[in-house]
Structure 1
Amino acid sequence: MDAIDVIRDSPDLSIGGVTIPREYVEEHARCAKDEWHWMTKYVKVEDKNRGLILNFEPWEHLFTLLTLYHGEKRIIILKARQVGVSWFWAAIALHIALFVPNSSILMLSKTEDDAISFKSKAMFIYRHLPEWMKQPTGKDNDSTTTFPIMESQIRSFPATEGSGRGETATLVLLDEWAFHPYAETNMTAILPTVENATIVGISTANGRGGTGKYYYETWTKAEAGNSNFVPIFLPYDVVPGRDEEFLLAVAKDMAVYKVKGEYPRTAEEAFILSGTCMFDLERLGVMPITDVFSTLMGICEIYKNPVPDHDYVAGIDTALGIAGGDFSVCQIVDVLTGEVVAKVRGRIPIEEFGPLVYQLLKSYGHPFVIVEMQFQGSIVIKALKDGNTEDTGYPVHKIYHRSKNNAGWHTNESNRNNILA
């Protein structure tokens, strides 16, 4: 007699005082072992837009996620919108809580409302399970639900600066990870106490910088094989029935570049066409990219050599040049054609950046230059004025002054709004 025969012939099963009728004992055992069977047979999801309760969709990409979950401890997911991923992980969270003793699921979302919404998906699934499968809950509020029989819990919090510190977990779900304002801080706090947990970062893209920077860098490292995270990209068309006509329909209510950012075909498209950008991304997408004609000092990119009778202007935005920090940038523009003819961009120590751009600007005849004025901007202006051993420095009248004795452009809240208006 095998194990299934024993279960089949057993009386009603009692777990912590909850009785599972004899006819469901075998099914309960199968659900505990097979998440996919449990999801496809018992999980209900909600379509709030249409006011419908639907069966869980057994889409191929969701089964792929389940396979990945069983084989990996660190997963980063870059996805299009509305591909069923949030409901999938809400179901996984509930399955663990119902069937794995002493388990703890930690969900972190970008805001408190998002945290409540993510956990509510798991509890929606719970409420629509058959009665014989349910377990009584203990503490049950917006942030925490406990299941005393299994001594398990699901907790969901906004990703504030202190979130995750000291927490232990079986599974950590980072929902819309690219939008977490303290993503790196939270990860640093979480890792020491969840070393053996599965960590899953789920998100649509949020650009390559700003709040989305840590997610983007984690993704690129994972793609390059330089991370413990395993990457998986889910484009818009992983959902059956989505095609170009679907995108055209969505575009009726959304800018084209937004459609491509929210429903990308490729990971590159997702990052380029997402995030906060004040430029017309549709125009940027069709603008020709000029090949580098030559370089100066190995780092300055020259697209077009100086033309004697052309006027040029330059802009400089500076940073400290530290690893992982912002880039310092200098661009030179041909006034006649509007083309960027030369550029230097990199995490270059500020004491090296000033002399470097001096040489680049000098090669274009000392164009009128505007330097963003912070502490490091003043270092660059000094380097320009000092010049080098071969000359007396940059012509002062060619450096933008906001007043007679104050060189450089100073961005403040007022003029920033005017610039971006």
Structure 2
Amino acid sequence: MDTAERDALHRVREGEWAHCRANAHYFIETYCHIEDKDAAEIIQPFRLWPMQREALSEILSNRLTIILKARQLGITWLALSAALHELLFCEGHTCIALSRTEEEAKELVRRLWAVELKNMPELVREDGAANWGGPTYSHTVLSVTITFPSGQKSAFRAFASAGGAGRSFTANLLLLDEWAFQENAREIWLSAYPTINRPTGGRVLGLSTIERGTLFEELYTEDNGFHKLFIPWYADPRRDAAWYEQTRRDLGDLIMQEYPATPEEALTIPGGAFFPEVKRHTHVRAAPDMEGWRRYVCIDYGLDMFSAHWVAVSPENRAAVYREFDAPDLTIGEAAAKLRELSAGERIEQMLAPPDLWSRSQESGKSRAAIFAEHGAVLTKTSNDLPAGCAAIKEWLRDGGLTLCEGAAENLFRCLSRIQRDKARPNVYAKEPHALTHDVDSLRCFCVYWTHPAEAPRAAGVTWTRDQYDDYENAGEAGRAYLIRKWGEPVW
């Protein structure tokens, strides 16, 4: 090839490169590939379906995009191809991808280099390619690096979903695959979002099928900065009415979860919300005058989360949650100190807690309840009967018998309105996502235990000694009542 021919070829390549940079649709349909397990040749050119083309246009036009989709519509392939377009044509850019597990993170990387990059030798080749002066790529199991002739590098890094994943990197694109099913999604979002949150750029693309009660559902359904996309089961043109009817016969009502036709279907999951009666207009009220009301604290304690709620009960047997506190990683001493601090100046009738806190530790020989008492927070054991507790919460919520004071218990309201019915045990709420259960478990301690309306105010409380707390902790119900009559209500 003489100099004129080389120059002509160089101009053609430059023109093609510029055209691909300006037209992501052309780049994907001309150079990108996918795996089709049903085809004679597994690796196939990526020919976009009409709804995939529309989705790509909206992804490219918005900084924050969240996609609710039916299953197996090639949207992960579309997201990877869109990410690759940015990495190839914006030198020095970084994409951070978060998946449910490390194996799924590795699979994203494999798709990117083995299916996408490996099959576009006209544009990019593997490191060490002979007679090649264009960009090259290298990979590890969890990353792909594209090196340009200028020396600039673009990077794709994949992580399993874990708290703090991606925190130390600055990214141009944050890709969250099957977002609704990622562990620690809220913590991850808080740590990962700042990596792209810059005034001059940074984009988020989150995609998933639905899982109720998750951060993904919250971000998709609430008013925020995300551009919302829904991609129905029929986005695949090969799926016709006969296919859908056969699938419906095979799956029953679960078809709405796996293959929804509308966002409403996707959000109508079999079983549904456990507390559908909880609505802001019926269960969130202005704080009442609580003078003369009996006051309780109910808690759920664990190192992953300490949840506490302050509940006042009127002489007419109405209840109001007027304070909440949620924090992870608190020792028992810190949790007890927070209870005393937030209850200062109030006469608390009882601090109600689940019975698992009375199990003795093999290391110390003490129960966590005993350690709470040593730090000045004497707990009262409630029932661990989950069906009874769930029924008790529903009874209190019926007809607004228990309300939440406006602005005082927003996390409890969020959890009550989003927690789902257990699919195997419809008379109890689901224990996953676990992040929704802490506040509801705390409220359950109050609802399953409390039986009497408020009484006239008693004499002012007194400060107990450590020995008095120990006597109270080791006493039964009758003994505790006697000690309170003898010494008076304690002040925390």
TM-score (norm: length of structure 2): 0.55
User: How many Å separate the matches in 1 of 2:65 and 2:324?
Assistant: 25
Matched letter for residue 237 of structure 2? P
Deviates more, 1:62-71 or 1:21-30: 21-30
The 8 Å contact of residues 52 and 235 in structure 2, kept in 1 or not, is answered as no
Structure 1 position 265 matched with structure 2 position 261: yes
| Runs of 5+ unmatched residues, structure 2 | 128-135, 285-306, 310-320, 327-389, 410-426, 430-439, 457-475, 479-492
Deviates more, 1:138-147 or 1:49-58: 49-58
SS across alignment from 1:75: strand
The 8 Å contact of residues 328 and 348 in structure 1, kept in 2 or not, is answered as no
Structure 1 position 178 matched with structure 2 position 180: yes
1:193-342 pair list within 5 angstroms: 193-195=195-197, 196-207=201-212, 209=213, 213-221=214-222, 226-251=223-248, 254-273=250-269, 279=271, 299=283, 320=309, 330-331=393-394, 342=398
Percent of aligned positions that are identical = 25
Deviation at 1:236, TM superposition (A): 0.6
CA gap of 1:330–1:151, structure 2 versus 1, over 3 A, is same
The 8 Å contact of residues 257 and 268 in structure 2, kept in 1 or not, is answered as yes
Question: What does the per-residue CA deviation read over 1:80-134, in whole Å, with 9 as the maximum and x for residues that have no partner?
Answer: 1111211111111222222211110111011111111222222211111134543
Which of these residues, 92, 97, 115, is aligned with residue 105 of structure 2? 115
CA gap of 1:298–1:147, structure 2 versus 1, over 3 A, is closer
User: How many Å separate the matches in 2 of 1:227 and 1:41?
Assistant: 35
Q: How many corresponding residue pairs?
A: 312
User: How many Å separate the matches in 1 of 2:403 and 2:308?
Assistant: 8
Matched letter for residue 218 of structure 2? E
Match of 1:312 in 2: none
Which of these residues, 31, 37, 60, is aligned with residue 26 of structure 2? 37
Match of 1:104 in 2: 94
User: How many Å separate the matches in 1 of 2:5 and 2:167?
Assistant: 45
Deviation at 1:147, TM superposition (A): 1.2
User: How many Å separate the matches in 2 of 1:328 and 1:216?
Assistant: 26
Question: What does the per-residue CA deviation read over 1:309-334, in whole Å, with 9 as the maximum and x for residues that have no partner?
Answer: xxxxxxxxx98467899x997435xx
SS across alignment from 1:168: coil
The 8 Å contact of residues 180 and 209 in structure 2, kept in 1 or not, is answered as yes
Question: What does the per-residue CA deviation read over 1:146-202, in whole Å, with 9 as the maximum and x for residues that have no partner?
Answer: 112241111111111120212211111110111111211111112223112110111
Matched letter for residue 348 of structure 1? L
User: How many Å separate the matches in 1 of 2:402 and 2:153?
Assistant: 52
Deviation at 1:53, TM superposition (A): 2.0
SS across alignment from 2:44: strand
User: How many Å separate the matches in 1 of 2:204 and 2:244?
Assistant: 32
TM-score (norm: length of structure 1): 0.63
Match of 1:168 in 2: 170
User: How many Å separate the matches in 2 of 1:59 and 1:10?
Assistant: 38
Match of 2:404 in 1: 348
Matched letter for residue 205 of structure 1? I
Match of 1:384 in 2: 451
CA gap of 1:49–1:259, structure 2 versus 1, over 3 A, is farther
User: How many Å separate the matches in 2 of 1:66 and 1:27?
Assistant: 20
User: How many Å separate the matches in 2 of 1:147 and 1:43?
Assistant: 16
Matched letter for residue 215 of structure 2? Y
User: How many Å separate the matches in 2 of 1:375 and 1:171?
Assistant: 39
The 8 Å contact of residues 103 and 152 in structure 1, kept in 2 or not, is answered as yes
Which of these residues, 120, 125, 146, is aligned with residue 134 of structure 1? 125
Deviation at 1:229, TM superposition (A): 0.5
Match of 2:380 in 1: none
Matched letter for residue 25 of structure 2? W
Match of 2:483 in 1: none
> What do you get for the CA RMSD once the two structures are aligned?
4.1
Deviation at 1:65, TM superposition (A): 2.2
Matched letter for residue 50 of structure 2? E
Question: What does the per-residue CA deviation read over 1:318-354, in whole Å, with 9 as the maximum and x for residues that have no partner?
Answer: 98467899x997435xxxxxxxx956598736x99xx
The 8 Å contact of residues 43 and 55 in structure 1, kept in 2 or not, is answered as yes
Match of 2:144 in 1: 145
User: How many Å separate the matches in 2 of 1:11 and 1:27?
Assistant: 15
Question: What does the per-residue CA deviation read over 1:365-389, in whole Å, with 9 as the maximum and x for residues that have no partner?
Answer: xxxxx99996544434564224567
CA gap of 1:376–1:130, structure 2 versus 1, over 3 A, is closer
Deviates more, 1:28-37 or 1:79-88: 28-37
The 8 Å contact of residues 323 and 347 in structure 1, kept in 2 or not, is answered as no
Matched letter for residue 56 of structure 1? F
CA gap of 1:98–1:345, structure 2 versus 1, over 3 A, is farther
SS across alignment from 1:92: helix
- Structure number with the bigger relative contact order (C-alpha 8 A, sep ≥ 6) is 2
The 8 Å contact of residues 102 and 151 in structure 1, kept in 2 or not, is answered as yes
